[in-house]
Amino acid sequence: MVALKRLLLRILRSCKKMFRITNVDAVAEMLDPPGVDIQVLLQARARANNNLAALLGVTNTFTSDNTTVHDEFRARVEGLLGEVGEGTPWWARLVKVTGHGVRQFLHMVPCDFATFICCVTFHVWVVGVLNPSVPDDWELQSDHSVEEITRAIINVTENGSPTIGAAQIRATLENWIPHPDGDENYNPLNLIAPMYDKLWRLVAATVVCAKRFPITRNPLLDFADNPTKLQFRSTPGVDAGPSAENVMNEVLRLHPPVQHISRPYGLPMWEMLLTGRVQTADIRAVQKLDQHGNPLPEPKEFTPSRWQVGTCPAMFAFGEGPLRCPVRDQVPILAALIASKVMDHIDGVMYRLVPPQNVGGGTGNSNGWSISRNEL
């Protein structure tokens, strides 16, 4: 009986994988389905993020089907990143905070690369984005270190269990993240999970890609020296190398923050019996196609120049439709800023990025990478 159950589960998983949507038009329609109420879409997303609610007590739009919660959260995040974005008076401060954050955590070296990026990204997000009024060199201090807090949050998404209790995490974050006046339901974790988790992974993938593909280094280092939107988009020419924006688009194409998105839409009865009441879009797979659904040349290769000419690749890294990421235009430039400042400091002189003995798992996989100190 047990063997039969295992066989049925294996067949069910295979069917779910087989019915993942990888067609451009079908993915676009599934993510922005006609005639489907937004609350139904919110319910599906909330179910997928149930662990954030159960283990961390997150009550933002990622774990709620309440449309008011959704609208308020979108407005809050748009306001936060809009206030400190490039072109605003606060952008120069964010650049300083990022540089300070990188230098602050260099004391950890030698260390695991992913751990370092987690800490730096968290510092930039909390000090630079959520606390625009504190000094540029403000440091996050508490009974629990930044490393302990970030490890606990990430363990929920990776292993389903935090290394520190949710109450302790929340108490620590309350010391670091300001309490909005009049917000009776204030929960600092709502401004951390899952956005921070997606951001640090994008930063890590960008730095690893830049290490593995030298043509991407100069655009990012030029952006570190001159962090403006104009520089972000500037390229010497099609044959002279990509822009920092081209690099970030290619990182997002190969390493989307969310690789699978499920929505309750358009399933015939026979397929519902096999896959459940949702369809799943394979974001990583569909981004191997161009906008018209044609296969890209060498789709598994990291090629930023593909964004410079011709038909661009399909891009669903930030979703589509009513649940599309509201800050999709700000995230790439923020991730590029953090990644470029990391590269500027870990440049092979005093500190260097060390690949694992067996570099595998994809172009931007950070597993096994480390940072070491050079002996002078």
Q: Give the pLDDT mean for 358-374.
A: 81
- φ/ψ bin of 57: left (φ > 0), alpha (ψ from -120 to 50), beta (otherwise): left
Would you state the pLDDT for residue 76?
93
Would you state the pLDDT for residue 16?
47
Would you state the pLDDT for residue 181?
73
Would you state the pLDDT for residue 330?
96
Give the rounded percent of residues in the chain with a pLDDT score beyond 70. 89
Residues in the chain: 376
Would you state the pLDDT for residue 21?
83
Residue 275 has pLDDT above 60, yes or no: no
Residue 362 has pLDDT above 70, yes or no: no
Give residue-wise pLDDT tens across range 172-229: 999 999 887 767 778 999 999 999 999 999 999 999 999 999 999 999 999 999 999 9
Asked if 231 and 244 touch (Cβ cutoff 8 Å), the reply is: yes
Q: Give the pLDDT mean for 155-165.
A: 86
Comparing 14 with 80, the larger pLDDT belongs to: 80
Strands 279-282 and 111-112, by their bridges, are unpaired
- φ/ψ bin of 19: left (φ > 0), alpha (ψ from -120 to 50), beta (otherwise): alpha
Q: How far is CA 287 from CA 281, 283, 304, 326, in A?
A: 11, 6, 14, 20
Residue 107 has pLDDT above 70, yes or no: yes
For the purposes of burial, counting CB atoms within 10 Å of the CB of 83, is it exposed (0-12), middle (13-18) or buried (19 or more)? Answer: middle
For the purposes of burial, counting CB atoms within 10 Å of the CB of 271, is it exposed (0-12), middle (13-18) or buried (19 or more)? Answer: middle
Nearest to 126 by CA among 72, 66, 193, 186: 193
Residue 3 has pLDDT above 70, yes or no: no
Give residue-wise pLDDT tens across range 52-79: 999 999 999 999 999 999 999 999 999 9
Asked if 243 and 233 touch (Cβ cutoff 8 Å), the reply is: yes
Looking up tokens 């006609």 gives: 34
Residue 99 has pLDDT above 90, yes or no: yes
Would you state the pLDDT for residue 115?
96
Rounded Cα gap, residues 291 and 157, in angstroms: 31
CA dihedral of 35, 39, 41, 42, whole degrees rounded to 10: 170
Residue 6 has pLDDT above 90, yes or no: no
Q: Poorest-confidence range of 22-26, 65-69, 273-277, 338-342?
A: 273-277
Grade residue 274 by pLDDT with cuts at 50, 70 and 90.
Answer: low
CA angle 195–14–259, rounded 5-degree value: 20
Would you state the pLDDT for residue 7?
53
- Side-chain-facing half-sphere of 64: CA atoms under 13 Å: 15
Q: How far is CA 162 from CA 74, 150, 228, in A?
A: 26, 10, 38
Comparing 20 with 104, the larger pLDDT belongs to: 104
For the purposes of burial, counting CB atoms within 10 Å of the CB of 58, is it exposed (0-12), middle (13-18) or buried (19 or more)? Answer: buried
Tokens, residue 58 = 């997150």
